[in-house]
Structure 1
Amino acid sequence: MENKPKHYFYVLQCADKTFYGGYTTDASRRLKEHNSGSGAKYTRPPSRRPAKMIHLESFDTRSDATKAEYAFKQLTRSQKEAYLRKHQSDEI
C-alpha cells in the first residue's frame, strides 16, 4: 500500500484577530514557518504573530485542498466565522 502524503487546508487566527487560510502537507512545520516570520507574506508583520491554527481539514488531493482554500478566501469575515463554527476541527 502506497503511503500518500495528506493535503491540508488550514486557517490561522493571527494576533490581530484576522484569518489566514492556506495549503500544506505538514501543518506543524507550516505553523512554525508562519510564526517565525518566514511563512506567507501576510503573516510576516510582527503585529500578526503569533498565529494560532484554528482549523485543519485533510484532503486526498492537492487540488481538493487548494479548492477549499480558494473558496474560504472568497468569503466575507462573517461567512468565514460561520464556516469555522460549522466545521470545527478535532485534528488541531
Structure 2
Amino acid sequence: MPYTYILECADGSYYTGSTWNMARRLWEHQEGLGANYTAKRLPVRLVYCEECDRIDTAFQREKQIQGWSRKKKLALIASDMNQLHVLAECQNASHHENLHAD
C-alpha cells in the first residue's frame, strides 16, 4: 500500500515523502539511508502518515504537502481540519479586502 508521510527531524524541521513500504522507509530514514535531508537531522520521528490507493497519488500528495507552510503542516499533523481550511484560504490582503467589500 502506498503512503504519504511527514517526519519530524531532530532540529524540529519536517520532511515529507512517499513510499510503498512505510516500515522499511522509516527504518531507512533512521539509519541515515533515506534522504540526505533527514540523514543530517537524525533522529527522525513519524508524525503523520496517510494511505493512498496508488503510488502516483501518494507522490502527488507529497508534492502538495511540501508546498504548504509550516502552520498548515502542523494543522494536518494535529488533524485540525478547521485550522487546515482557514490556512488554505487565500491570505493575500487584496483578496481579503475584496471578500469583505459589500
**Matched residue SS, 1:21:** strand
**Matched residue SS, 1:86:** coil
Aligned residues: percent identity? 35
Deviations 1:30-56 (A, max 9, x none): 1111111111111111xx111011111
Q: CA RMSD in A?
A: 1.5
Which one has the bigger helix percentage?
A: 2
Larger Rg: 2
Report what 1:90 is aligned to.
none
Gaps of 5+ in 1: 1-5, 88-92
Q: Equivalent of 1:54, from 47, 55, 67? A: 47
Deviation at 1:86, TM superposition (A): 2.1
Q: Equivalent of 1:78, from 64, 71, 80? A: 71
Q: Equivalent of 1:43, from 35, 38, 57? A: 38
Task: Give TM-score, length-normalised by structure 2.
Answer: 0.74
* CA distance, structure 2, for counterparts of residue 66 and residue 85 of structure 1: 21
* 2:6 paired with 1:11: yes
**Relative contact order, CA 8 A, sep 6+: which one is greater?**
1
* CA distance, structure 2, for counterparts of residue 86 and residue 52 of structure 1: 17
* 2:23 paired with 1:28: yes
Runs of 4+ with >2 A deviation: none
Task: Give TM-score, length-normalised by structure 1.
Answer: 0.81
